[in-house]
Every structure is written in C-alpha cells, then in structure tokens.
Structure 1
C-alpha cells in the first residue's frame, strides 16, 4: 500500500530521530534491496606488514580525510554539526558493542585520542540533475556517509579491528544504545560483505528498531591500512520507504578515502 505524504513525513521524522540517537545529529543531505538473511561474513583479515609504531596526530588525520573536490559527484562537509564530539556521548549497554557504536559515529573504534571525521554525501546537482523530486522519498534519496579516521601506535590498529570483529559476533543479538540522551535499540548485528580494501576489512549490518514503525538496516565498514583505521557508515533517508535498507556504503567513497591513507 502506498503511504500518504503524511506517513512519509512521519517515516522521515523517525529516521531523523534515529540518526540523532546514533550520531547525535540529523542532516537533510543524506537503491539497494533490503538486506535480508543473505548477509555474509567479510572480515578480509589479509596478512600485512607490521604497522608503524607512531600514530598520526589529529591534525595529520584531518589532512588525510577526503576534501571537497577530490571525489566527483560528492559533497564533503566537516561534520562539525552532524558528528558527536567524543565517545563520552555514545554509550551501549554492552561494553563489547562500544566499538560498533563508535564506528557508526565516525569515532575511533580502538584506544586512541587521534581521531578525525567528516561527511561525504551524494551531490546529485553536480551530476547535472535538473528534475525536481516528485515526492518526499525522492528528495531524501541521497547517500550520506559518515567517515572517521583514527591512528594508533604499535599494534593498536590491529587491536581496534579485532574489537570490531569480536563485537560483530558478541553483539549478534543486538544491544541498547544511548547517544546524547536518546535511546535506540539495535536488534541484530551480522557480518556483511566488505570491500577488501586496505590491509584488513570488517563490514557489518545492524537492524534498528524504528520506535515501533518497523526496522531499518544500516551498513558499516571498517578498513585498516597500516596503523590507520577508517570507518564508514551510510544513511539514505529514503531507504525506509524502500524496504528499510538505508543504503550500502558507496564503493567510490571507500576507494577514494583508502587511497589517501599513508
């Protein structure tokens, strides 16, 4: 049954509220079929040389983030208004699940203070689109990816990847999340097919209860290159209208960001 415009507005508002609880913010700037039970394991734990012993600084990580103009068809924003400032505002009811929550909020999934993040969103106007959206769902049909970079000394990056991989298994039955005073229930976590980029990747999907209006499936990927870890988490606000899948992480974003890492 096709929903009325009012129902679409409610669904969009629900998605906005979800983003607030997951990422402490909601943005208007941000199709695949719903992720069904066919999600597959994708920890491509490729062997790699020993990571560098010295971590990048926050300032150095900010320079390694994708910048405006470096990826055609996408807009890059600092994320200052859409990303949580620190891990202290993103908590779960199961410590083992904290790395997953942090990874979906562009925060360091491991033990480090060297962290930087931004947002990378589709720029359909740059692609030459001139037609106006026909309805609310079309207006919000934009992939927005929250990108985080973190750097570690010694084997810290590898430990961070293990924490994420372990979290996917331990938190399979879900967990409770509190961000900036908002509570959200993640009902399922499962391994997903990753890009295989960098030295090691872990990808996962999360089903989230949409406050009694159904579920939404979100995709995340974590990539290690040397002693730097990149996290990617994508939201497409029109996804709730299209079966509940909120969009896979665009391969172009992963490729371009990992290529910049040293």
Structure 2
C-alpha cells in the first residue's frame, strides 16, 4: 500500500468514526466507507484490523504531581489560536501532521444511559458542550510508511470558556467509572453497542489527564478504541487511536502526547 493510499484511508477512517458512522454498529457496518474506524488503517473492505500492541492494564491516569504541573495563561483560544498550538510536522521526529479530512462533520450518537453520554460525545468528535473553538488533526508515524498497520492518531483540540474545560474532564472521568460494563447508543445511522469501558494507566500530561479504552465492534469483531484527554487551563486535547488487526489495545505514543501538551497555553 502506498503512503498516499495509507494516508487517505486513515484520514477517511478517522473522520468516519468520529462522525459515528457505524463505528460501533450492531450486526455489521453501514455508512460511507464500510464503517471503518480511526487510528491505524483498515483493510479495503472495512474488515477490522490493526497493529499489534501491548494491552495496558486498567488503572488510574492521574494528573502530574504538583511539582510538575504546568502553569497556564487561562486564555480561551479561538480557532486560529488552536491551529497555532496544534502539533506541526517536524516538531516530533518521525510524525507527519495534517488537518483531519472530514473532521468538521461530527457524529450524532446518543447514549441510552445519560451517564455515558460524555463518552459518546468524544466518539462523535465533539467532546464537551459548546466549545469556543475546535481544531482537528491527523498524526501519522512516518517510520511505518507503506504498512497497512501504520499508526494514525487523531487529535481534537478544543477551547472552553469559564469552568467548562475542568467540567469536561470531570464528566468523562465520571462516565468511565459509571459505564465500565459498556453502553448502547442510537443515531441516524442506527444503534451501536460498546461492550466495555476501562481506564488506562497512560503517562499523565498537562494539568490533568485521563486515558481510557472503549471496546466497540464492527461486523461482530471487537475493536478497541483508546482515548486520552489532556487539559491545561481552558484548552483540552483529545487523542484517539484504534486497532483493526488484532483486537488488542493500541499504543498511544507518549512522546506525541507530551509534545502536544507542552504547547498548551
């Protein structure tokens, strides 16, 4: 598979899952490209697949210790400001950064359990309620260029007025605990089932962070979706990666997360 084709499939897949087009559909796939999800690339027919990775044990992802917690200006950035602090190609060795194709089209999934709606909102590509601005990016591991399982990370940068950013983090943290046994959603594309939610012990970043895995399905095959939300001040970055080949939890590159967190105002 050429780099161009890999990138195109990955970007399209990311947009589709973030728009909730059959990312966790019951009984098969639907929507614009066989219901592929985001993260690593998928096979042409939408068959789940992905990159082997170690499965992190469940645990807490706490904020850094007070001595390492960064300060913040508290500035609420507009879209131009968010684009300015988003990672760019060359800032992290071995990764290429580009705008997410189709990222502006967010999903419509609604959880049947209101306690789980914050998780559905993240899957939709719309974390939080009414952010002041949002910017989407796709980050690809260029060392895996040409591989079907090339690592592709989706980033969503959002800015929030008032106390909305800390509230977003609290709502997601509460939802991870409340929805450990999974949850169901409905949308204009049909119902979806997520069988499990568990917190992951990924390295913390920013002033506070939380990492977790949601297990979805495509055509009956389990698809682990790994998320990490990082907040500094009024800005939140959501990182997302999935595994379509092995049904094992994919790895979210800690260096990538740290580099982006270091740019938050």
Deviation at 1:61, TM superposition (A): 0.9
> CA deviation digits over 1:203-251, x for unaligned, max 9?
11112233323x22221111111111111111243xx3x3x11412111
TM-score relative to the length of structure 1: 0.74
> CA deviation digits over 1:146-183, x for unaligned, max 9?
10111122222111110110110111121123466154
Give structure 1 regions of 4+ aligned residues with deviation exceeding 4 angstroms. Answer: 23-29, 45-54
Measured in 1, the distance between the counterparts of 2:65 and 2:124 equals 25
> CA deviation digits over 1:113-168, x for unaligned, max 9?
42111111111367xxxxx7xxxxxx322111110111122222111110110110
- Residue in 2 aligned with 1:231? 238
Measured in 2, the distance between the counterparts of 1:167 and 1:100 equals 7
Shift of the 123–219 alpha-carbon distance from structure 1 to 2, 3 Å rule, reads same
- Residue in 2 aligned with 1:108? 127
> How do residues 52-67 of structure 1 correspond to structure 2 at under 5 angstroms?
54-67=75-88
Measured in 1, the distance between the counterparts of 2:167 and 2:39 equals 35
Greater Cα offset, 145-154 or 63-72: 63-72
CA contact (8 A) 2:96 2:142 kept: yes
- Report whether the alignment pairs 1:258 with 2:261: yes
Measured in 2, the distance between the counterparts of 1:183 and 1:171 equals 17
CA contact (8 A) 1:207 1:216 kept: yes
- Report whether the alignment pairs 1:216 with 2:223: yes
Instruction: Give the secondary structure class of the aligned counterpart of 1:157.
Output: helix
Q: How many pairs does the alignment contain?
A: 228
- Report whether the alignment pairs 1:187 with 2:190: no
Deviation at 1:253, TM superposition (A): 1.6
Residue ranges of structure 2 left out of the alignment (5+ in a row): 1-8, 25-30, 42-51
Point out the structure with the larger helix share: 1
- Residue in 2 aligned with 1:201? 209
Instruction: Give the secondary structure class of the aligned counterpart of 2:176.
Output: helix
- Report whether the alignment pairs 1:98 with 2:126: no
